[in-house]
Amino acid sequence: MDGYIMALDQGTTSSRCILFDHSGRICSLAQQEFTQYFPKPGWVEHNALEIWSSQYAVATEAMARIAVTAKDIAAIGITNQRETTILWDRRTGMPVCSAIVWQCRRTAERIDRLTPEEKEMIREKTGLVPDAYFSASKIEWILDNVKGVRERALQGEICFGNVDAWLIYKLTGGQTHVTDYTNASRTMLFNIHTKQWDEELLKLFHIPADILPKVQPSGKIFGYTDESVLGGRIPIAAAAGDQQAALFGQCCFGPGEVKNTYGTGGFLLMNTGTRAITSAHGLLTTMAAVCEGEPVQYALEGSVFVAGSIIQWLRDEMRMIKTAAQSEEYADEAFDTAGVYIVPAFTGMGAPYWNPYARGTVVGITRGCKKEHFIRAALESIAFQSMDVIHAMEEDAGVPLNGLKVDGGASSNNFLVKFQADLIGKEVSRPKCIETTALGAAYLAGLTVGYWKDRDEVRANWQLGRKFVPDMQEEERAELLRGWKRAVHCAIGWADDRE
């Protein structure tokens, strides 16, 4: 099969489109950042129409850059920021309000009100730690707080979707309302064992079943683009949440294979094959991406809410750097952090702590602390948080990890990845192509339409970019770890003393 596979990568901070060829090479790329709204402390919103318009714009731009038309595109694969919740009018396609972003904490108190029995039921059915992070309480909030929406929903006029379902609806000209297993498994309404929307959970969150999309495997034809959108009927042959797509893009196809993504947040996933393993250490059990006809696969996941976004914060709010890449130069200039630790709990803490009320904390500041130290501490905080998750995963898996594959925007930072290798005392491999999220969506779509023959053909494309070998002394590592634990203790103490 000729042509390209188009990956639409709708991330938290930007919309991207990449055209890949058979070798998994990036032939064209277009990207647009879009607006982040912070209407109240701890609240995060996006404009769903801007998500669509930016995604559409980069799709046409990527095609225009290498002068291809719809007939040159064998299939589209979608990957998206997960959990982010959009409700729209089924007929007009107009969102009923802003998209509530995964990071948003507005429903934290709602989750607190769940009884221990309800929390246990959620864990068992969904594999998730009950939290405001997931879609369920966000949907309920919209139904309860946006005027008239519950009534319209009861009359079948409203669709709910995560960003994948929203984009598919728009791409198909409003014809299709569908999602995939990986996205559904992040709503906290989907039973990952029976692979069905769960009536008991829908009742618990007062959500009418009519608003839900149909669920199917990640690699399957979801529909075709409306001719008026990209100039032809292109099969939309895959959709997968960003982290599951990255796991696929890193070719972690078998049990025990692990990747860590440093994007807006940090996400460590381990493929656990056909077994849904329950974590004893605050990790989530989630569905991994597979194509139609394959047995379902599960993954263990550690989610860290703030990773690369602390660098964005240094750039946009603190105005300490002009570009994200500059953070590496500053970190290299500072020999250490001068004893400073930053815990970037801007929207609470995820795995393994799960504290929605923790907030960003800086400790250890002395008169000698310079901007360089502060920036270095910010980068180190990304690696510390991943280290906590890696330790939790090793405990759950019962075996030490034997290395780590990394990707995501912030993995281009050599200081960060080397520091990560030092902290965990293991080799860290960064592939040549760190756009593994988009690549994973492309692979799923390409396998579905026969652009690639099988997983072996896909695996042959994985190429090492750089390997980072640890050389930190054990004593120094232990000292750093102790400091980090004390800092986390402070961030959580701040939350615990809030009354």
413 lies in the site for ligand ADP, by CB under 6 A: yes
For ligand ADP, which stretch binds (CB under 6 A), given 179-187, 308-316, 333-341, 440-448? 308-316
* Strand ranges (E), 383-427: 404-407
Report, in Å, the least distance between residue 408 CB and ligand ADP: 4
Site for ligand ADP in 252-271 (CB under 6 A): 263-264
350 Cβ neighbours under 8 A, 6+ residues apart:
131, 133, 265, 302, 303, 304, 305
350 lies in the site for ligand ADP, by CB under 6 A: no
Report, in Å, the least distance between residue 29 CB and ligand ADP: 12
Q: Which of 70, 204, 296, 324 binds ligand ADP (CB under 6 A)?
A: 324
Question: Which residue in the shown chain puts its C-beta closest to ligand ADP?
Answer: 409
Judged by CB under 6 A, the number of residues near ligand ADP is: 19
Nearer to ligand ADP, 283 or 331 (CB): 331
In a 3-state reduction of DSSP, which class is residue 453? Answer: coil
Question: ∠ CA(107), CA(350), CA(379), 5° rounding?
Answer: 125
Residues 51/34, Cβ–Cβ less than 8 Å? yes
- Output the DSSP codes for 169-229: HHHTTT---EEEHHHHTTTT-EETTTTEE-HHHHHHTT--GGGSPEEE-SEEEEEE--HHH
Question: ∠ CA(79), CA(50), CA(314), 5° rounding?
Answer: 80
Report, in Å, the least distance between residue 241 CB and ligand ADP: 11
356 lies in the site for ligand ADP, by CB under 6 A: no
Q: Which of 187, 312, 337, 448 binds ligand ADP (CB under 6 A)?
A: 312
Q: Which of 241, 282, 348, 408 binds ligand ADP (CB under 6 A)?
A: 408
244 lies in the site for ligand ADP, by CB under 6 A: no
Report, in Å, the least distance between residue 23 CB and ligand ADP: 22
For ligand ADP, which stretch binds (CB under 6 A), given 89-97, 139-147, 306-314, 487-495? 306-314
Q: Which of 64, 209, 325, 469 binds ligand ADP (CB under 6 A)?
A: 325
Phi, psi values for residue 244, rounded to 5°: -70, -35
Report, in Å, the least distance between residue 15 CB and ligand ADP: 9
Residues 382/310, Cβ–Cβ less than 8 Å? yes
- Kindly report the three-state secondary structure assignment for every residue of 88-126: EECCCCCECCCEECCCCCCCHHHHHCCCHHHHHHHHHHH
Interacting residues with ligand ADP (CB under 6 A): 11-14, 263-264, 308-309, 311-312, 324-325, 327-328, 408-410, 412-413
